[in-house]
A and B are shown apart, each in its own frame.
Chain A
Amino acid sequence: MDSPIYRHKFEPTLLPGHYVKIQDKYYRVVDLRPGFTCEVKLTNLLAPVEFSTKDTKVAIGSKGELLQLRMKIFGPVSIEARFEGAGGDVFGSYGGKIYYIDERVPENMLEYWVFEDQFGWLYLKIIPIVTPAWCKIRWLGFVYYVEEVEKVPEKYFVPPYIGVKRVSR
């Protein structure tokens, strides 16, 4: 699997007319828009704090929206970031991947994909390095409007984490 740590300029990966596979279903990109920048700030952190983009409704999509997001962390904190691959009961169950981030990371360090408010959301555990710590998170990205297609396209993009349906064990 590719690392979510990006190494390329932030441009839309998909364009209208492209196809994408999400949760083993196929979608056609109908439209593409830049997303609003989204920012969250937490202050006076004395102990680790949990933050879920799904619970807080931050940086998640509406119906028919596929988001391509990058995020940057500011502040004297380390962060455990877990991408929720295919829903399910367990937080961050996808491969048990944990990425540690601190304030030395470059702008918009992590890149990930979110489909509607169901798949690809992010679970963060924010751990103070000093106390009291503070943390600011900024998201920016692109919004793709997609519609499901019946026929399997010849060529399609598989976004990491959310492309394939996870099998419960």
Chain B
Amino acid sequence: MGIKLSLSTTLDEANTEKTIIDLSNLPYIAFLKKLSLSNNATSLAKVQVKFYNGDSAKVVLTVKVAAGESILVPEENLPSEAAPTKITLISDQVPVEVEVSVELE
């Protein structure tokens, strides 16, 4: 059983990409357990979840949220692999409110 963390943040004009958790200097890996998005922008938002492995990043999930809508990504659609270094979120529309839960192993 790992350490569970719940975090919330907002992607806005100043931060269209945000780091959810940075494990660079910690011996943990992170599993994404919950992702909830609320699109407060006026058009469809495409939100991407990126997992970093050292300096290399890959998009592990892309979620589209209609304007004014909220979405809770089903757990079975979340990536089952772990993020070894960092998790970031990036959106092409802002503001988007984000709630995430991660489990650290």
Interface size class of A (residues with CB under 8 A): 10 to 19
What chain B residues lie within 8 Å of A43 (beta carbons)? 53-54, 84-85
Q: Secondary structure at chain B's binding surface: helix, strand, loop or mixed? A: loop
Q: CB within 8 A of B54: which of A44, A74, A75, A136?
A: A44
Contact B27 A74 (CB under 8 A): no
What chain B residues lie within 8 Å of A123 (beta carbons)? none
Contact A132 B27 (CB under 8 A): no
What chain A residues lie within 8 Å of B28 (beta carbons)? 39, 41
0/1 interface trace, chain B 3-28, chain A, CB 8 Å (1 if under)? 00000000000000000000100111
Interface size class of B (residues with CB under 8 A): 10 to 19
Q: Secondary structure at chain A's binding surface: helix, strand, loop or mixed? A: strand
Instruction: Give chain B nearest CB distance to A139 CB in angstroms.
Output: 11
Q: B105 contacts the other chain (Cβ, under 8 Å)? A: yes
Contact B27 A39 (CB under 8 A): yes
Q: A113 contacts the other chain (Cβ, under 8 Å)? A: no
Cα distance A146–B20 in the bound complex, in angstroms: 47
Q: Which residue of A lies closest to B51 (CB)?
A: A134
What chain A residues lie within 8 Å of B55 (beta carbons)? 44
Q: A40 contacts the other chain (Cβ, under 8 Å)? A: yes
Listed from nearest, the 7 A-B pairs whose CB atoms lie closest are: A44-B54, A134-B84, A39-B27, A43-B54, A41-B27, A43-B84, A132-B53
**Chain A interface (Cβ < 8 Å from any Cβ of B):** 39-41, 43-44, 74-76, 132-134, 136
- Identify 6 new A-B residue pairs, CB closer than 8 A, beyond the known A43-B84, A134-B84: A41-B29, A43-B54, A75-B29, A76-B81, A136-B29, A136-B84
